[in-house]
Amino acid sequence: MTTETAPPPFDRERALIDVARVIVASALTIGSVLLTAFGFVERVVGIERIATERRFALLALMPGAAALAFLASGRALGALYDVSVPPRDIGLIRRALLRFTDVSGAYGLFAVVISALVAVAAFIAVALVLNLGWLLLASLAGALAFCVALSGMLMRYTPRRRLIDFALAICIVLTMVIDQLF
C-alpha cells in the first residue's frame, strides 16, 4: 500500500509572480511584433495611404493594439513589483523615485522604455485617426500616454490609478473604433 502525501502548500505570491512574468513577456512580444509589422508595411505602403485609404483600415489598428499590449505589460510589471517589494511608509513622490531606482535602475529603465513604446504607439494611432493633419495633437496624446503609463508603473495600485488606466485603455480603443468608422 502506498501512503498519500499531502501536496505542497500553494504559494499565492509565487504564482502571481509567475503569471505576471508570463504576461509581461507575452504582451511585450505581441506589442513588439505588431509595431514592427506596422513599420515594415508602412515603409512599403506609406503612412499617408494607411491614414487615408479604407483598404488599409485593419493595418491602421496595429499601433493601437500594440499600445494596449504595452500597457498590459506595464501593468503586469507594476503588479510584479507590488508583490515583490513591500510597501514603504513614505510620501508619494519619494516612493515613486525609490521605485524608479530600485533594482539598480533596471526597473526604472524598463518603465521608461515601456512608457515610451505606449507613447509612440498612441501617437501613431492618433495621427492615423486625424489623417496626419494634427501632429501636434497626436504628440500631445503620445506625451499624455507616456505620463499615464509611467505613473502607473511607478505608483502602487489605487482605485484612482485603476480609473486612469481604464480611461487610457478606453481612449485607445475609441481611437481605433473612430479610425474604422470614419
Q: Cα separation of 35 and 121, whole Å?
A: 7
Number of domains in the chain: 1
Looking at the domain assignment, is residue 91 inside a domain? no
Q: Cα separation of 182 and 161, whole Å?
A: 31
Q: What pLDDT does 33 receive?
A: 92
Looking at the domain assignment, is residue 19 inside a domain? yes
Looking at the domain assignment, is residue 1 inside a domain? no
At which residue does the C-alpha cell 495600485 appear? 157
Looking at the domain assignment, is residue 117 inside a domain? yes
Q: What pLDDT does 30 receive?
A: 92
Q: What pLDDT does 102 receive?
A: 66
Q: What pLDDT does 157 receive?
A: 75
List the chain residues with pLDDT less than 50: none
Looking at the domain assignment, is residue 5 inside a domain? no
Question: Which domain, by its residues, includes 70?
Answer: 12-86+99-181
Q: How far is CA 106 from the centre of its chain?
A: 17
Q: Do residues 38 and 51 make contact, with C-beta atoms less than 8 angstroms apart? A: no
Looking at the domain assignment, is residue 39 inside a domain? yes
Looking at the domain assignment, is residue 3 inside a domain? no
Looking at the domain assignment, is residue 94 inside a domain? no
